[in-house]
């Protein structure tokens, strides 16, 4: 490492000018792309120091590296300065490997030296509890006032593979190959594992950032920084928890607006969300589902293993999102085609049946025993005549329903002397080029990708993943879904402003909903038996009577409900009966009167409820009523606001959705109208402002007379129990 063997004082770059250096809006350029680095607390006896210095040397870091140690002396062949200020040269970034107790002192020195960014390896902060949290806040405040961006504490660092700059405290591999994937991880240990796995797959990393305790730089900042780096085509994210939801959402949106899909492996369930599951809706939903809903909203591709994280992000980087209905697969064995069929089914990926024209075109080029199917088995005949491969791929690609093509073939670790594999991959490349659509060669099973294999496939113009058919299909599923997400019309954003109303009780809630475009059952709060009978007469139908009281939530329990009354006498008698029962059961309850509504029969009962997640804000759940929602928790969840298209998707996700299509001779529910009502309920909930914990419509009835909310309930922050 040339800069390290040189005297640290020699050959300083020009006077440091933080703003000029940092055209980077977030001020992270000095941290993530420094021209000079100070290793504070460097010592030849520490494994961390050794690794950090080794990494800089191995990467060929071209800037200056300064050893800082109060004892001075020669460290790793360089004369150490006692402090950063003593270096007398501009320092862009510093790696702090000093005890937590020295931090404040060190920060004073950093400020004096005009350091732009620090990486803090040291632990002993927020991860240790209350006191540590306070100490962390102290240095965060110091850094902020000094204008120093801070990675950590308690993190392993970062590596900027593009610039050849690692500030990383365990052994790292030298960057190799074309880098397109950026990696952000809250866990440094897992970042190392992911880097190793990426290398094994010859997936080049542009950056790798571990954020540790996130006293300053959070995953959101790292993602926004990466969204501006031209080399990074897609971002892989390992996430334990999100500290600042708004920043996180903004960062993901920035990355996606820049055309850089973000793939996330999120572990654990948020305790904050769990506590918040006060409302009925909460218990139906579960916190992890809220994160799933967030992924749908933001177009995040959520995966569930380290392997999927790398394989999926790599394919995003190589081909981008896919637009279209489904995939075409080609293999050289019937057994493989069967595996692909089963696996695609499990992943919910369409393998469209071939259009007649495609089938005809394929018949022209295939050997007699092969059948034009998707997946397509080109049979062993391709062993003898590899040209079949290119011809089949080109013919298949003409099919209008096919978004992308995949050929199952292993790139060999080493090219054999006979060029066997080259002959096939040449044909695959020829077919891919002729296809005019995204194409991927997938290995049969998971297999490491050697440098030679990567070079051979790139030379022959073949996009290759060694992730195997299972992980490859999983990834392609994400590419298709992200493509669909990009094309959908997002709901217009709605800021959550304090609501001007606070409706409570069935009548008030239903009236509020009606004013917000939600159809509700006709109803009248009768103040007398005659009043009730008159309204019932106007309705010309059997009616339901329900007590109206702000103090009574469970009306049935106090005898406050009577069903299916018809005729003046029955309605009058019913009115008196309810009043007597309720006065007996709840003598102190305030009574507004008795609600008279037409009795609805048949139709499909739905449940629509909104709930507020403390991190991610209001969400909406839709389910079928009765056992579906109460026993099976068969609900679909989205973050608000939603569009009608979202609402239709939600209905499509319900396991009991068949009930909407005219089950057992009942008329089918008009899904489009239902979707409109669901959207209106979501908007009404947002209009109620941030104090609304939940709004529940149960049931929302879809019947042959239309769609009506029959009952509504609100739960408010800090509201007393009725």
Residues that bind its own copies (CB under 8 A): 47, 128, 185-187, 189-190, 193-194, 196-197, 200, 238, 240, 265, 267-268, 304-307, 332-336, 338-339, 341-343, 346, 369, 383, 410, 444-448, 468-470, 627-628, 630-632, 655-656, 658-659, 663-664
431 burial via Cβ count (<10 Å: 0-12, 13-18, 19+)? buried
Chain length of the chain: 722
Cβ neighbours of residue 209 under 8 Å, at least 6 residues apart?
32, 151, 158, 182, 183, 184, 185, 191, 222, 226
Q: Which of 103, 108, 63, 62 is nearest to 84 (CA)?
A: 108
123 burial via Cβ count (<10 Å: 0-12, 13-18, 19+)? middle
Query: Cβ 339 to its own copies, closest distance in Å?
Result: 6
- H or E stretch covering 234: strand 234-239
Nearer to its own copies, 138 or 200 (CB): 200
Query: Cβ 624 to its own copies, closest distance in Å?
Result: 9
Radius of gyration of the chain (CA): 32
Nearer to its own copies, 49 or 254 (CB): 49
Q: Judge if the upstream peptide bond of residue 342 is cis by omega within 30 degrees of 0.
A: no
Query: Cβ 413 to its own copies, closest distance in Å?
Result: 9
d(CA 342, CA 337): 9
* Sequential DSSP letters for 646-664: HHHHHHHH-TTGGGGGTGG
Nearer to its own copies, 557 or 717 (CB): 557
d(CA 238, CA 119): 19
Mind spelling out the 3-state secondary structure of 365-428? HCCCCCCCCCCEECCCHHHHCCHHHHHHHHHHHCCCCEEEEEEECCCCCCCCCCCHHHHHHHHH
d(CA 230, CA 572): 76
d(CA 68, CA 40): 5
| CA–CA distances in Å: residue 134 to residues 137, 225, 246 | 5, 28, 24
Cβ atoms of 618 and 577 within 8 Å: the answer is no
Nearer to its own copies, 420 or 583 (CB): 420
Biggest alpha carbon distance in the chain?
104
Nearer to its own copies, 104 or 189 (CB): 189
Query: Cβ 217 to its own copies, closest distance in Å?
Result: 18
Query: Cβ 569 to its own copies, closest distance in Å?
Result: 26
Nearer to its own copies, 215 or 361 (CB): 215
Query: Cβ 594 to its own copies, closest distance in Å?
Result: 26
Helix 644-653 to helix 671-687 angle (10° resolution) is 110
Nearer to its own copies, 187 or 253 (CB): 187
Burial per residue of 625-662, b for 16 or more beta-carbon CB atoms within 10 angstroms, e otherwise: bbebbeeeebbbbbbbbbbbebbbbbbeebebbebbee
Query: Cβ 193 to its own copies, closest distance in Å?
Result: 5
Instruction: Dig out the tokens for 712 from the structure.
Output: 């509504």
Query: Cβ 446 to its own copies, closest distance in Å?
Result: 5
Query: Cβ 179 to its own copies, closest distance in Å?
Result: 19
Nearer to its own copies, 204 or 212 (CB): 212
694 burial via Cβ count (<10 Å: 0-12, 13-18, 19+)? buried
Nearer to its own copies, 240 or 401 (CB): 240
Query: Cβ 214 to its own copies, closest distance in Å?
Result: 14
Query: Cβ 333 to its own copies, closest distance in Å?
Result: 3
Nearer to its own copies, 373 or 398 (CB): 373
Query: Cβ 184 to its own copies, closest distance in Å?
Result: 13
Nearer to its own copies, 181 or 361 (CB): 181
Nearer to its own copies, 240 or 511 (CB): 240
Nearer to its own copies, 18 or 632 (CB): 632
Query: Cβ 254 to its own copies, closest distance in Å?
Result: 25
d(CA 287, CA 284): 10
The DSSP bridge pattern shows strands 179-185 and 402-408 to be unpaired
Say which residue the tokens 């369409």 belong to.
Answer: 350
d(CA 252, CA 623): 29
Cβ atoms of 475 and 465 within 8 Å: the answer is yes
Cβ atoms of 601 and 675 within 8 Å: the answer is no
Query: Cβ 197 to its own copies, closest distance in Å?
Result: 4
Nearer to its own copies, 339 or 621 (CB): 339
Q: Which of 401, 407, 405 is nearest to 357 (CA)?
A: 401
Nearer to its own copies, 357 or 663 (CB): 663
Q: Can you say how many angstroms the Cα of residue 100 is from the centroid of all Cα atoms in its chain?
A: 34
Query: Cβ 108 to its own copies, closest distance in Å?
Result: 29
Nearer to its own copies, 235 or 239 (CB): 239
Query: Cβ 347 to its own copies, closest distance in Å?
Result: 11
Nearer to its own copies, 7 or 631 (CB): 631
* Sequential DSSP letters for 235-257: EEEEES--S-HHHHHHHHHHHHH
Query: Cβ 160 to its own copies, closest distance in Å?
Result: 22
Instruction: Dig out the tokens for 66 from the structure.
Output: 């300064």
* Sequential DSSP letters for 259-285: T--EEEEE-S--HHHHHTTTSHHHHHH
């Amino acid at each position: 490492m040339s800069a390290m063997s040189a005297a640290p004082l020699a050959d300083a770059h020009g006077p440091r000018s933080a703003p000029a250096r940092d055209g980077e809006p977030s001020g992270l350029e000095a941290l993530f792309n420094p021209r000079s680095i100070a290793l504070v607390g460097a010592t030849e006896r520490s494994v961390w120091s050794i690794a950090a210095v080794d990494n800089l040397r191995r990467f060929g870091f071209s800037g200056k590296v300064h050893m800082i140690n109060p004892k001075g002396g020669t460290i790793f062949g360089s004369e150490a300065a006692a402090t950063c200020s003593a270096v007398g040269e501009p320092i862009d970034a510093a790696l702090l490997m000093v005890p937590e107790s020295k931090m404040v002192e060190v920060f004073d020195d950093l400020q004096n030296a005009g350091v732009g960014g620090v990486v803090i390896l040291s632990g002993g902060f927020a991860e240790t509890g209350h006191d540590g949290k306070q100490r962390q806040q102290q240095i965060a405040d110091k850094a902020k006032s000094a204008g120093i961006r801070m990675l950590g504490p308690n993190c392993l660092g970062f590596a900027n593979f593009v610039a050849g700059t690692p500030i990383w405290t365990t052994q790292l591999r030298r960057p190799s190959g074309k880098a397109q994937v950026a990696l952000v991880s809250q866990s440094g240990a897992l970042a190392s594992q992911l880097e190793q796995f990426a290398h094994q797959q010859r997936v080049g990393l542009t950056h790798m950032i571990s954020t540790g305790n996130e006293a300053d730089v959070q995953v959101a900042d790292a993602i926004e920084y990466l969204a501006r780096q031209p080399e990074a085509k897609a971002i892989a994210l390992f996430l334990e928890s999100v500290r600042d939801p708004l920043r996180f959402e903004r960062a993901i949106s920035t990355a996606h607006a820049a055309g850089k899909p973000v793939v996330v492996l999120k572990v654990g369930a948020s305790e904050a969300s769990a506590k918040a599951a006060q409302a009925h809706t909460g218990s139906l939903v579960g916190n992890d589902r809220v994160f799933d809903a967030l992924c749908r909203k933001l177009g995040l591709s959520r995966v569930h293993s380290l392997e999927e994280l790398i394989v999926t992000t790599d394919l995003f980087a190589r081909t981008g999102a896919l637009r279209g209905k489904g995939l075409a697969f080609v293999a050289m064995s019937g057994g493989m085609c069967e595996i692909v069929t089963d696996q695609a089914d499990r992943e919910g990926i369409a393998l469209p049946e071939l259009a007649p024209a495609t089938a005809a075109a394929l018949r022209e080029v295939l050997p007699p025993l092969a059948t034009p199917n998707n997946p397509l088995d080109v049979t062993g005949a391709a062993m003898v005549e590899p040209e079949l491969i290119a011809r089949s791929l080109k013919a298949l690609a003409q099919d209008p329903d096919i978004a992308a093509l995949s050929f199952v073939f292993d790139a060999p670790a080493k090219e054999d002397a006979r060029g066997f594999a080259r002959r096939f991959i040449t044909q695959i490349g020829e077919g891919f080029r002729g296809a005019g659509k995204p194409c991927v060669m997938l290995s049969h099973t998971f297999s490491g990708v050697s440098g030679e294999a990567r070079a051979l496939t790139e030379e022959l113009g073949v996009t290759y993943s060694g992730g195997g058919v299972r992980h490859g299909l999983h990834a392609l599923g994400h590419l298709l879904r992200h493509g669909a997400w990009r094309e959908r019309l997002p709901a217009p954003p709605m800021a959550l402003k304090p609501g001007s109303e606070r409706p409570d009780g069935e009548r008030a809630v239903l009236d509020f909903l009606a004013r917000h475009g939600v159809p509700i059952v006709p109803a009248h709060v009768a103040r007398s038996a005659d009043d009730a009978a008159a309204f019932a007469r106007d309705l010309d139908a059997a009616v339901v009577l329900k007590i109206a009281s702000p103090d009574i939530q469970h009306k049935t329990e106090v005898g406050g409900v009577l069903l299916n009354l018809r005729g003046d006498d029955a309605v009058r008698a019913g009115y008196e009966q309810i009043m007597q029962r309720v006065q007996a059961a709840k003598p102190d309850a305030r009574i507004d009167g008795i609600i008279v509504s037409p009795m609805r029969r048949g139709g499909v009962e739905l449940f629509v409820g909104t709930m507020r997640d403390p991190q991610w804000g209001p969400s909406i759940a839709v389910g079928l009523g009765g056992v579906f929602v109460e026993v099976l928790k068969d609900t679909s969840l989205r973050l608000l606001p939603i569009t009608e298209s979202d609402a239709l998707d939600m209905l499509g996700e319900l396991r009991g959705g068949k009930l909407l299509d005219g089950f057992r001779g009942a008329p089918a529910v008009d899904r489009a109208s239902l979707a409109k009502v669901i959207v209106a309920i979501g908007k009404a909930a947002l209009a109620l402002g941030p104090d609304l914990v939940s709004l529940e419509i149960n049931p929302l009835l879809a019947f042959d007379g239309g769609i009506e909310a029959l009952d509504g309930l609100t739960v408010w922050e800090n509201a007393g129990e009725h």
